[in-house]
Amino acid sequence: MSSPPDVILLDRGNNTTCSVNLHGATIVSWRVNNQEQLFVSKQAVFDGKKAIRGGVPFIFPQFGAWHLGPQHGFARTSTWTLESPPERLESGDVEAMFSLTDSEHTRSMWNFPFRVFYRLILREKELHFNVSVSNTGHESFAFTLLLHTYFKVPDVRRCQIGGLKGCTYVDKVQNGLVFREDRDAVAVGEFTDRVYQDTPPEQIISNVVSGRKMRVMKYNLPDTVVWNPWLENAQAMGDFGDEEYPNMICVEAGRVASPVHLPSGTVFEASQILQVHYCV
């Protein structure tokens, strides 16, 4: 399968692959046993002029609206560097490393020197995301960060998200009112846009592709965003088909409720593991 020049293919064999577009270091495909796990809109734009609608866009240095630059920050619309090409490890896993460094463009919005390293490891049924943010300047800076994962599902109305019970969440559909989640499993049957705070290190999403479960395991990414635009908002997006909303659910691991304050010369590290669960 020949990929466009800006798409990096991690191929583990056995029809297990991961494709990363250097535009935003956006993962645009993750196939396990040849089954696609991620949602990418049929109307997604790949010309570099805007963020790719789907897959796993990298949100940095700002989640949400930003007075200094584009919504969700500049990382997902920047061209990243392939730091280390895909390499097969002794374990049979395949890893690749990407990086984003401050530039004249980024400094025009956010005048701080930084270096982000993004290491992906493709296992048989797992995809590992390892992130480090280094403050390479002389003054402290603050940022928020999120992996904006779009999971592909047969019908979002049949999905349930476990692992959020007892967490407070900001409901952006209800003008930012704060609630406490009292359900063992969160269902999505309408326009949903919630920032769950201080969530446990593991969530499980039921009824993803092939009716399986997806485990989301996180380190140092305490918040979980749950989003589905539903029809009314899908119709308002030019890069999202009106009929596509039932086939996706965003469950996004991040540090967004409160910013990371990173002193000069220090490093922030975080990781996420997505695992396709074959047990019933």
178, two tokens: 């704060």
Torsions phi, psi of 138, nearest 5?
-100, -5
For the chain, first and last CA: distance in Å? 33
Q: How far is CA 191 from CA 47, 165, 232, in A?
A: 28, 20, 8
Helices (H), 24-65: none
Tell me how crowded residue 69 is: count the other CB atoms within 10 A of its CB: 16
| 23, 72, 95, 148: the active-site residue | 148
Q: Least Å distance between CB 64 and ligand TA6?
A: 6
Q: Least Å distance between CB 115 and ligand TA6?
A: 24
Q: Do 270 and 134 contact (CB within 8 A), yes or no?
A: no
Q: Least Å distance between CB 119 and ligand TA6?
A: 23
252 carries an active-site annotation? yes
Q: Which is nearer to ligand TA6, 54 or 86 (CB)?
A: 54
| 252, 261, 269, 277: the active-site residue | 252
Assign 16 to helix, strand or coil.
Answer: strand
Q: Which is nearer to ligand TA6, 126 or 193 (CB)?
A: 193
269 carries an active-site annotation? no
Q: Running DSSP on this structure, what letter comes out for residue 211?
A: G
Interacting residues with ligand TA6 (CB under 6 A): 51, 64, 71-72, 148, 172, 193, 225, 227, 250, 252
Q: How far is CA 21 from CA 3, 26, 128, 249, in A?
A: 10, 5, 17, 21
Q: Which is nearer to ligand TA6, 6 or 193 (CB)?
A: 193
71 marked among binding-site residues: yes
Q: Which is nearer to ligand TA6, 17 or 41 (CB)?
A: 41
Q: Least Å distance between CB 76 and ligand TA6?
A: 8
83, two tokens: 């730091």
Cα distance between residue 136 and residue 264, in whole Å: 6
In 3D space, the residue among 74, 148, 160, 151 whose CA is nearest the CA of residue 110 turns out to be 74
Q: Least Å distance between CB 221 and ligand TA6?
A: 14
What residue is closest to ligand TA6 based on CB? 227
53 marked among binding-site residues: yes
Q: Which is nearer to ligand TA6, 58 or 141 (CB)?
A: 58
Cα distance between residue 141 and residue 102, in whole Å: 13
Annotated binding site for substrate: 53, 71, 76
The residues assigned a catalytic role are 148, 252
Annotated binding site: 53, 71, 76
